[in-house]
Amino acid sequence: MTALANEIRRRRTFAIISHPDAGKTTLTERLLVAGGAIQLAGNVRAKGERRRTRSDWMAIERDRGISVVTSVMTFEYKDCVFNLLDTPGHEDFSEDTYRTLTAVDSAVMVIDAAKGIEARTRKLFEICRLRDIPIITFINKMDREAQDPFALLDEVANTLALDTAPVTWPVGRAADFIGTYDLRLQEYRLTQQVPESDPRMQGVAEELELVRAALPEFEVEGFMEGHLTPVFFGAAIKDIGVTDLLDALSAFGPPPRAQPADTRIVSAEEETATALVFKIQANMDPNHRDRIAFARVCSGKIVRGMRMKQARTGKQIPLHAPQFFFARDRQLAEEAFAGDVVGIPNHGTLRIGDTLTEEEGLNFTGVPYFAPEILRRVQIKDAMKAKKLKQALQELAEEGVVQLFRPRDGSQPIVGVVGVLQLDVLMARLANEYGVPITFDQTPFSLARWVSGEKAALEKFIDAQRSAMADDVDGDPVFLASSAFMMRRTAELSPDITFRDVKDMHADAVSA
């Protein structure tokens, strides 16, 4: 194996999905500690000076006690390099969450042992499934009153239509929970020594017989295909089951996968470097208008100082000061391999969905924009600031904070979001960073769909529907409908037009 392939194969890039309060933060902290936490980019519950100085709009986070910003945490454990991409922990969805999940190779689903599958877990799970992302289940809080493990496994299997195979089994319950038995390695990991005559040990021996007789054995293939989830039991707060999880990710967690592009599929171990921008974060420092583009390295390796080509425009992007989130003792690293995430400072050149290559002209697919579920008209409080607003909305839309629709009839811009929290973020950032306070009005529209078709047919459609047409942030046409009924009706009457609820910048090229 080449040195490059070796580096790439030891990458494990994953996210944790859960319902609020299930223990994601606690588990994240424990994983970082177990891995000797190399560097935190963004912070897990960091309360220090650094966080306070980061940006005003983070006030929303503090006020609500939530984390709006997706961050990347890198640590080493045994032979593997782990990249943990944090997804926002609040109830609300944002497109960032979806897009973060497009940048991982696996997901850990944390479930509260007392509550089982909750609403948000389910929704996030569905996104993972849509993308065939292998999922590992971690049943947390086994140190409390919990549901029976067999019942929990059944619940996961039934609600998510997923095969479940326990990899560990809990020893003792609630206050007596003292560790796990690893079915794969056939060994106990206990927090205290107990004799075999201990009732907990006898209990687990009986249960294990039942487990072996009644439940499927874990097999890697089903896991990789995304239809079987290995299940672990633990209590993050007591550090039980955390290393089980890391050991499993090291042993059979998926290494960086191949990434589909418009012209071909790019294997992670190719020599030449490619990367895909899945997130933009701006104004981390209010004094600079810099943005950081977060890009997943899809193949090869990226080295500080190299130039990459932005496929969309052909522009050369110098990587003078990329942030590599792999750095021991906070020293900057010099290189990043497929599976890693790099942060590239820029002034708005890089967009979500952008592909970077060394030379080849190819565009990765699969970083989508979703049709927003909520539409609002932006009302400016100070008409003198209309021009500033226009620029600010464009910038924030490029960053992915909201989607922007400019009505063709010249009326006030409309913004679209997947979750309402995005509206709060937009309002706060417009006021704090751009000095443009706004309010939101209802719009007559409730649905947005990207439309495409043959040139003449499309022009005809746009002309006929002018009052319901808008341009999105890239200037692509969007049809706005007042109701699902109107949308269906219009679609029926326009058979030569395609209506899409997901915009994938380059997916058309693949099917064409």
The answer to whether 345 is a known ligand-binding residue is no
Q: Concatenated DSSP letters for 95-127?
A: HHHHHHHHT-SEEEEEEETTTBS-HHHHHHHHH
Q: What is residue 418's DSSP assignment? A: S
Q: Is the Cβ–Cβ distance between 317 and 310 less than 8 Å?
A: yes
Q: Annotation-wise, does 22 bind a ligand? A: yes
**20 among annotated binding-site residues:** yes
Question: Of residues 24, 120, 406, 449, which one binds ligand G4P by CB under 6 A?
Answer: 24
Specify the residue, 23 or 368, whose C-beta has the smaller distance to ligand G4P. 23
Binding of ligand G4P at residue 184 (CB under 6 A)?
no
Cα-Cα-Cα-Cα dihedral sign, residues 114, 130, 484, 159: negative
Q: Which is nearer to ligand G4P, 240 or 273 (CB)?
A: 240
Does residue 42 have a known ligand-binding role? no
87 is in an annotated binding site: yes
- State in angstroms the smallest separation of the CB of 129 from ligand G4P: 21
Kindly state the smallest distance separating residue 133's Cβ from ligand G4P, in Å. 19
Q: How far apart are CA 508 and CA 291, in angstroms?
A: 28
Cα-based angle 446, 121, 253 (whole degrees, multiple of 5): 125
Residue 7 found at the interface with ligand G4P (CB under 6 A): no
* Closest CB 449 distance from ligand G4P, rounded Å: 34
For 97-128, letters b (16+ CB in 10 Å) and e give bbbbbbbbbbbbbbbbbeebbeebbeebbebb
88 is in an annotated binding site: yes
Confirm or reject binding of residue 21 to ligand G4P (CB under 6 A): yes
- Going by C-alpha positions, the residue among 142, 180, 167 that lies closest to residue 231 is 167
Please identify, using beta-carbon distances, which residue of 241 and 372 lies nearer to ligand G4P: 241
Nearer to ligand G4P, 190 or 237 (CB): 237
Binding mask of the shown chain, residues 199 to 238, with x at each position contacting ligand G4P by CB under 6 A: ------------------------------------xxx-
- By beta-carbon proximity to ligand G4P, the closer residue of 23 and 413 is 23
Beta strand pairing call for 469-471 and 414-417: unpaired
25 labeled part of a ligand binding site: yes
- Smallest gap from residue 24 Cβ to ligand G4P (A): 3
> Exposed e or buried b for every residue in 275-306, given b needs 16+ CB within 10 A?
bbbbbbbbbbeeeeeebbbbbbbbbbbbeeee
Whichever of 245 and 427 has its CB closer to ligand G4P, that residue is 245
506 is in an annotated binding site: no
Rounded Cα distance between 440 and 146, Å, is 44
Selected from 23, 116, 166, 407, the binder of ligand G4P by CB under 6 A is 23
User: The tokens of 264 are what?
Assistant: 């071909």
- Residue 86 marked ligand-binding: yes
C-beta closer to ligand G4P: residue 144 or 388? 144
Q: Confirm whether residue 90 is marked as ligand binding.
A: yes
Q: Which residue, 21 or 496, has its beta carbon nearer to ligand G4P?
A: 21
Question: How far apart are alpha carbons 141 and 115 in whole angstroms?
Answer: 10
Nearest-approach distance from CB 240 to ligand G4P, in angstroms: 8
* Contact (CB, 8 A) for 479 and 326: no
Taking the least distance from each CB to ligand G4P, the nearer of 67 and 323 is 67
Using CA of residue 394, residue 397, residue 399, residue 402, what is the dihedral sign? positive
Q: Site mask, ligand G4P, residues 113-132, x = CB under 6 A? A: --------------------
Instruction: Tell whether residue 89 is a contact of ligand G4P (CB under 6 A).
Output: yes
Q: Which residue, 87, 248, 270, 259, is CA-closest to 180? A: 248
Q: Which two tokens stand for residue 192?
A: 């205290």
Say if residue 89 carries a ligand binding annotation. Answer: yes
Percentages of the chain per state (helix, strand, coil), in multiples of 5: 30, 30, 40
Burial annotation 64-84 (CB, 10 A radius, 16+ → b, else e) = eebbbbbbbbbbebeebbbbb
Show the binding pattern over residues 138-177: x = contacts ligand G4P (CB under 6 A), - = does not: --xx-xx---------------------------------
| Minimum CB distance to ligand G4P smaller for 140 or for 465 | 140
Give the containing element (helix H, strand E) for 40: strand 39-41
Q: Which stretch binds ligand G4P (CB under 6 A): 23-31, 167-175, 454-462, 463-471?
A: 23-31
106 in contact with ligand G4P (CB under 6 A) = no
Q: Which one of residues 7, 9, 26, 81 is an interface residue with ligand G4P (CB under 6 A)?
A: 26
Smallest distance from ligand G4P to CB 168, Å: 14
Q: Indicate whether 61 belongs to the interface with ligand G4P (CB under 6 A).
A: no
Q: Which amino acid is at 267?
A: S
**Count of residues in contact with ligand G4P, rule CB under 6 A:** 16
Helix (H), strand (E) at residue 39: strand 39-41
Please tell me the distance from the alpha carbon of residue 91 to that of residue 394, in angstroms, as a whole number.
27
Residues within the interface to ligand G4P (CB under 6 A)? 18, 20-26, 89, 140-141, 143-144, 235-237
Can you say which residues are annotated as belonging to the binding site for GTP? 18-25, 86-90, 140-143
Can you say which residues are annotated as belonging to the binding site? 18-25, 86-90, 140-143
